[in-house]
Amino acid sequence: MDFTFTEEQEMLRKMARDFLGAECPRDTVRKLIKDEKGFTPELWAKMTELGWPGLIIPEQYGGVGGSFMDIVALVEEMGRGALVGPFFSSLVGTLAVLEMASDQQKADLLPKIASGKLILTTAFSEPGVGYELDAIQCQATAEGDDWVINGTKLFVENAHLADLMLVATKTKHATKQEGLDLFLVDPKSPNVTCSMIETISGDKQSKVIIKGLKLTEAKRLGEAHRGKDRITRLLEMATVLKCAEMQGGAQQVLDMTVTFLKERIQFEKPVGTLGALQTHAANMAVDLEGMKYITYQVAWKVNENLPFAKDVAMAKSWCSDAYRRICDLAHQCHGAIGFCEDHDLPLYSKRSKVSEFAFGDGLFQRRFVAKEIGL
Amino acid sequence: MDFRFSPDEEKLRQEVREFCQKEPPESFPHEIEDEGYGFGGWSRAFTQRLGQKGWLSISWPKQYGGMGGTVMQRYVSAEELAYHRAPQYGHLFGDAVAAGLLSKGNEEQKMEFLPSMAKAEILFSTGLSEPGAGSDLLNTATKAVKDGDYYVINGQKIWPTGAHLAEWCLLLARTDPTAPKSKGLSTFLVDVRWPGVTVNPIIDMAGAKSFTEIFLEDVRVHKKYLLGQENRGLPLVFEALEGDRFWGRCIRHAGSRKDLEELVEYVNDAKYDGHRLKDNQVLRDTLAEIAVELQVSRMINYKAAWLLNQGKSISWESSVVKVFADELGQRLAHVGLEILGPEVQLGEDSKWTKLRKRFTFLYKFNRGLSLAGGTSEIQRMTIATRGLSLPRG
C-alpha cells in the first residue's frame, strides 16, 4: 500500500501550483468569469508549452505519454487554483478519442490536441436527461452511408471555444441496450446552434441544437451502435477526474479557512480558538480526508486498468456532498467577508454546486451503488 | 499510489478467513457479546485460540513471543476477523499495553509480560479515566506514594473495558502531587487480583457489562511494575490513546459491511404496508449512502494503518478514524431500525429475529462509542489543533 504520488507527480503538482499562481491567480479567474469567452489564447499557449493538453496522449501522437494518475495530479491542482477555461472539457473529449477512436481518427486528432491547436468538448446531457445514457433522445439516422443528426444537448461546456464537439446519440433502429454512438461534430456548422446558458458559477456552458446535420461514417467513433459500454467507461473516467478537481478545490477552501481562523481576531483572540469554529474546521478536514482517499483509490484503479464502476459512483457521491458541506462550513467560518463577490471563497462554493451535478450528483450515483450492493 | 495489499498480507488474510470458516468465532464461549465496534465481543477461549495461531502478536519482535511481522499484517488480520464478527475485545487493549511495553518497558518487563500476553495467558485492561478526570486526564487524582521498593496506590478508576475479565491493568496515577499537572503522572502495571483492588462491572444503557470501575485501597505495587520513567507517564498514555483510537475503530467498516449485507438481504425479502421494501427509493438511497460512507471509512482507516505501518504518528489521523467510524456506526444503527420498522420491537421467532436483536442492541450501544476513548468533541478538538494547527482555546 502506498498513499503517495511519485516524485515526478509531485514535481508536476508543484509546477502546476506555481504556474497557476503566477499565470492565472484568482483575480484573473474572476476577470475570466466575467469575460464573454472565459479564456485567453495566451494562457492556453502557455499551458500547451508545458505539455498539458497532451499529457495523457501517447508519445507516438505527439503527446507526453503520461499516466492517468499524472492527469489526476494535474487536475487536482487546477481545482485548487479554481482554473476556468476549456482544459477539463477538452480533456474529457481527448479521453473519448483515446478510448474510442479508430487509428485513423487518432492519427488525425491527437497530434492537434497535443499541440494545443484543437480544443474539444463533449455533449451528453439533454433537456430532462442527465447522464442516463438509455434516456438519450438525440438521434442519428442512417441515410445511405451517411448519418443525419437531430437533437438538443444541454450543459455543453465551452462549446463556444471548442473546435470539435463529441456528441452522444442514439441510433434509429436501436434497442435500449445498444445503439449509442459518439459523433465528431463541428460546433460552427450551420446546422448547429450554440447558445450560452446562465450558470451558477459563471462557467461557460451552452445549449446546443443540432438540426439535420449530415455526417460521414468517418465522423463516428468506435464500433457502430455498440458505444454504450465505452461511453459509460469514458464518463466514469471523467467522473474520477471531476472528483480530483473537486478535491483540490476543497483543499484550497480548507486552507484558506484555517488561515482566516488563525488571523481573524475577535474578542481579543483568534476566532480559531472558539470551539464552535474548531468543530467546523474539523468537520471540513474529515470530509476532505474522505474525498482524498476515496478519489485516489479509484484513480489508482483506473490507472491499473482494474474494474472501477462501483468505486467511482461511491467517490462521486461522497465528493459531491462533502465538497458542498465543506464550502457551507467555510462560509460560516469566514463570516460576512466571504459573502463578497471579490472574495476567493465564492469562486469555490459556487463551483462546488456545479461540480456536484457534473457527471451525476449524489442521488444519481447512489442509484447505481444501490444496485451494486445487491438491492 | 498503490492500494493493493502485499502478497504476504493477502496470504495472511486468506489464512484468517479460512480459520474463521473452519472454526466459527460464534462457536466459542463469549464473556461479552459482539458490540458492533467491528472487533466483536470478548471471548477468552477464542482469544487463546488466536494466541495459538500466533495472531495476537503479529507485529511484535520474535524474542518476546511475537511473529516479527508488520503492523499492516496485524491490521489485515484484524480487518478479516472483524468481518467475521470474531471477538477481538479481549486482546485489543492488551495490544495497546504491548505497544507501551515495547517502547517504554525494560527488558525484564518485556520478558515477564509479552510472551504470556501473546498466548492470552494474561489479558490487560487500561485504567485511565476517573470520576474527576474524563476528557481532562491531567486531572488524575489516583495517587501512588513511594514506600521503599513499593508504591502504595489509592484512588478510583472508571470505564476500563473488561477489567473484570482481565488479570492486569495499565494504570495511570499521580506520583508527584507538587509538580505541574502534566509532569507528575506515572503508569503502572497492576494485577487486579492483588489485595486492595476491587473491580465492579458497570451495566450500561444497552444492558451490556463491558465497562468497569476499579477501586484501589492501599494497593502495594512493586517498583518493578512502574512502566517507563517516574513522572513521565503522560507521553506513554497519549501514545496508548492514539493506538486505542485507531485499533478500537479502524476495522469498523469491515464489521459494518456485514451488518449492511444483512440489511440488504432483509430489504430484498421483506414487505411492509403491502409494498416491497426494495422498491422504496428513499430506502435504496439511504443504504447506498451507508455503503459510500463505509468505503470512505475504509480508505481513511487504510491511510492511518499505512502511516502506522511506517512507524509514523497518527495523533490526529486516529481522531479522524474514530469520529468517522463512531458516527457512521450510529447512522447505520439508526437506518437499520428505520428499515426494520416498529416490528423491531416484536420478539417473535422469525428468521429475522437475530437481525432485529442485533440492530436494537447496536442502536443502544453505539450511543456510547462516540464517548468511549474520548468524545467526538474531543476528537474534533484534536483534529483542529493538531491536524490543522488551530490555536488552543
What pLDDT score was predicted for residue A313? 98
Show which of residues 324-383 on chain B sit within 8 Å of chain A, judged by CB atoms.
Answer: 324, 377, 379-381, 383
Q: Are residues B175 and B260 in the same domain?
A: no
Chain B residue whose CA is closest to A261: B390
| Domain edge (last residue) among B122, B138, B153 | B122
Structural domain harbouring B166: 125-232
* B361: closest CA of chain A, how far (Å): 24
Q: Which cell numbers hold the place of A340?
A: 463578497
Give the best residue of A289, A308, A323 to mutate against chain B (max B CB count within 10 A). A289
CATH number of the domain within which B255 lies? 1.20.140.10
Q: Are residues B326 and B380 in the same domain?
A: yes
What is the CATH T-level fold of the domain A229-372, as seen in this structure?
Butyryl-CoA Dehydrogenase, subunit A; domain 3 (1.20.140)
pLDDT digits (tens, 9 = 90+) for A67-91: 999 999 999 999 999 999 999 999 9
* B235: closest CA of chain A, how far (Å): 23
What pLDDT score was predicted for residue B240? 82
CA distances in angstroms from A342 to A19, A21, A26, A364, B234, listed in the order given: 22, 17, 9, 33, 48
What pLDDT score was predicted for residue A237? 98
List beta partners, residue A189.
none
Q: Are residues B89 and B188 in the same domain?
A: no
Q: Are residues B302 and B327 in the same domain?
A: yes
pLDDT for residue A225 is more than 80: no
What is the CATH T-level fold of the domain A7-118, as seen in this structure?
Butyryl-Coa Dehydrogenase, subunit A; domain 1 (1.10.540)
What pLDDT score was predicted for residue B37? 62
Q: Is residue B392 part of a domain?
A: no
pLDDT digits (tens, 9 = 90+) for A3-34: 999 999 999 999 999 999 999 999 999 999 99
Cβ separation of A318 and B295 shorter than 8 Å? yes
* Separation CA B103–CA B237 (nearest Å): 12
Q: Cβ distance A232 to A308 under 8 Å?
A: no
In one-letter notation, the amino acid at residue B189 is L
| Domain edge (last residue) among B173, B202, B232 | B232
* Separation CA A182–CA A284 (nearest Å): 39
* Separation CA B314–CA B244 (nearest Å): 11
Q: Looking at this predicted complex, what is its ipTM?
A: 0.95
pLDDT digits (tens, 9 = 90+) for A89-129: 999 999 999 999 999 999 999 999 999 999 999 999 999 99
Q: Are residues B265 and B191 in the same domain?
A: no
Cβ separation of A366 and B284 shorter than 8 Å? yes
CATH number of the domain within which B189 lies? 2.40.110.10
Q: Is residue B237 part of a domain?
A: no
Residue with cell 483543499: A251
Angle at A132 between CA A127 and CA A137, to 5 degrees: 50
Nearest to B393 among A262, A273, A311 (CB): A273
What pLDDT score was predicted for residue B135? 85
pLDDT lower than 70: segments of chain B: 35-38, 347-348
Give the residue-averaged pLDDT of A264-283. 97
Cβ separation of B379 and A282 shorter than 8 Å? yes
Q: Is residue B116 part of a domain?
A: yes
Nearest to A2 among B1, B292, B295 (CB): B1
Could you report how far apart the first and last alpha carbons of chain A are, in Å? 31
Cβ separation of A258 and B388 shorter than 8 Å? yes
* Separation CA A182–CA A202 (nearest Å): 28
What pLDDT score was predicted for residue B201? 95
Listing DSSP states for A128-144 in one string gives TBSS-GGG---EEEEET
DSSP B386: I
Q: How many CB pairs below 8 A link A and B?
A: 147
* Separation CA A347–CA A335 (nearest Å): 16
User: Contacts by B24-30 with C-beta closer than 8 Å and gap 24+?
Assistant: B24/B84, B25/B81, B25/B84, B25/B85, B25/B86, B25/B87, B26/B85, B28/B87, B30/B87
Which residues contact residue B342 at a Cβ distance below 8 angstroms, ignoring those fewer than 6 apart? none
CATH number of the domain within which B37 lies? 1.10.540.10
Query: What are the residue ranges of helices labelled H in chain A?
Result: 7-23, 26-34, 41-49, 68-80, 87-100, 103-114, 228-263, 275-303, 309-334, 345-357, 362-372
pLDDT for residue A174 is more than 60: no
pLDDT digits (tens, 9 = 90+) for B43-57: 999 999 999 999 999
Cβ separation of A285 and B320 shorter than 8 Å? yes
Could you report how far apart the first and last alpha carbons of chain B are, in Å? 37
Q: Are residues B328 and B340 in the same domain?
A: yes
What pLDDT score was predicted for residue B207? 86
| Domain edge (last residue) among B80, B99, B122 | B122
Assign domain A121-225 to a CATH class. Answer: mainly beta
* Separation CA A229–CA A365 (nearest Å): 17
Q: Are residues B308 and B272 in the same domain?
A: yes
Domain boundaries, chain A: 7-118, 121-225, 229-372
Task: Name the pairing type of β-strands A269-270 and A164-171.
Answer: unpaired
Q: Is residue B238 part of a domain?
A: no
pLDDT for residue A374 is more than 70: yes
Cβ separation of A281 and B388 shorter than 8 Å? yes
For chain A, what is the mean pLDDT? Answer: 95
* B118: closest CA of chain A, how far (Å): 27
Q: Is the Cβ of A274 closer than 8 Å to some Cβ of chain B?
A: yes
What pLDDT score was predicted for residue A176? 46
- The residue among B263, B259, B241, B239 whose CA lies nearest residue B251 is B259
Chain A residue whose CA is closest to B378: A279
